[in-house]
Structure 1
Amino acid sequence: MDTPKVWLVTGASKGFGYESVKLLLEKGYRVAATSRDSSKLEKRINSDHFLPLTMEVANEESVSKAVSAVMQRFGKIDVLVNNAGYGLLGGIEELADEEIRKVFAVNVFGLINVSRSVLPIMRKQQSGRILNIASVSGSVSAPATGIYSATKAAVIQISEALSKEAEEFGIKVTAICPGGFRTDFLDKSSMATPKNEIPEYTLVRNTVERFGELNKNQGGDPKKAAAVFIKIGEMPNPPCRIYLGSDALRMMKKKIADVSQSLDTYFETSQESDY
Structure 2
Amino acid sequence: MSKRVWLITGCSTGFGRELVKVVVEQGEIAIGTVRKHEQVSELESINPELVKGIVLDVQKQDTIDQAVRLIEKEYGRLDVLVNNAGYGTLGPIEETSEEEMQRQFDVNVFGCVRMIKLALPFMRKQRSGNILNITSIAGLNGFPGVGIYNGSKFALEGIGEALSAETKHIGIKVTNIEPGPFRTDWAGRSATYNESAIEEYKETATKNMESIREVSGNQIGDPVKAVKAMYEVTTLENPPVHLPLGGPAYKRVAIRLEEFKEEIDKFRHLGRPTDYTEEELERMD
| Both proteins in one fold, TM over 0.5 | yes
Which amino acid in the other structure matches residue 48 of structure 1? E
Q: CA deviation at 1:259?
A: 0.8
Equivalent-residue separation in structure 2 for 1:154 and 1:41 (angstroms): 31
CA contact (8 A) 1:134 1:178 kept: yes
Which amino acid in the other structure matches residue 190 of structure 1? S
Equivalent-residue separation in structure 1 for 2:43 and 2:166 (angstroms): 37
Which amino acid in the other structure matches residue 58 of structure 2? V
Q: CA deviation at 1:168?
A: 2.6
CA contact (8 A) 1:51 1:70 kept: no
Aligned counterpart, 1:64: 65
Aligned counterpart, 2:89: 88
Aligned counterpart, 2:237: 236
CA contact (8 A) 1:36 1:54 kept: yes
CA contact (8 A) 2:34 2:55 kept: yes
Larger Rg: 2
Aligned counterpart, 1:32: 31
The number of aligned residues is 272
**Runs of 4+ displaced beyond 4 Å:** none
Aligned counterpart, 1:218: 219
Structure 1 spans left out of the alignment, 5+ residues: none
Instruction: Describe the superposition over 1:185-204 as per-residue Cα deviations: whole angstroms up to 9, x where unpaired.
Output: 111x310022x632412022
Aligned counterpart, 2:282: none
Q: CA deviation at 1:67?
A: 2.4
Instruction: Describe the superposition over 1:5-34 as per-residue Cα deviations: whole angstroms up to 9, x where unpaired.
Output: 111100111110000001111111111010
Which amino acid in the other structure matches residue 145 of structure 1? V
Which amino acid in the other structure matches residue 34 of structure 1? T
Aligned counterpart, 1:206: 207
Tell me how large the CA RMSD over aligned residues is: 1.2
Which amino acid in the other structure matches residue 25 of structure 2? E
2:252 pairs with 1:251: yes
Equivalent-residue separation in structure 2 for 1:126 and 1:60 (angstroms): 25
TM value normalised by structure 2: 0.92
CA contact (8 A) 2:40 2:55 kept: no
Equivalent-residue separation in structure 1 for 2:174 and 2:38 (angstroms): 30
Structure-to-structure mapping, 1:105-120, within 5 angstroms = 105-120=106-121
TM value normalised by structure 1: 0.96
CA contact (8 A) 1:80 1:131 kept: yes
Return 79-88 or 42-51, whichever deviates more: 42-51
Equivalent-residue separation in structure 2 for 1:155 and 1:62 (angstroms): 22
Aligned counterpart, 1:141: 142
Structure-to-structure mapping, 1:123-202, within 5 angstroms = 123-187=124-188, 189-194=189-194, 197-200=196-199, 201-202=201-202
Aligned counterpart, 1:272: 273
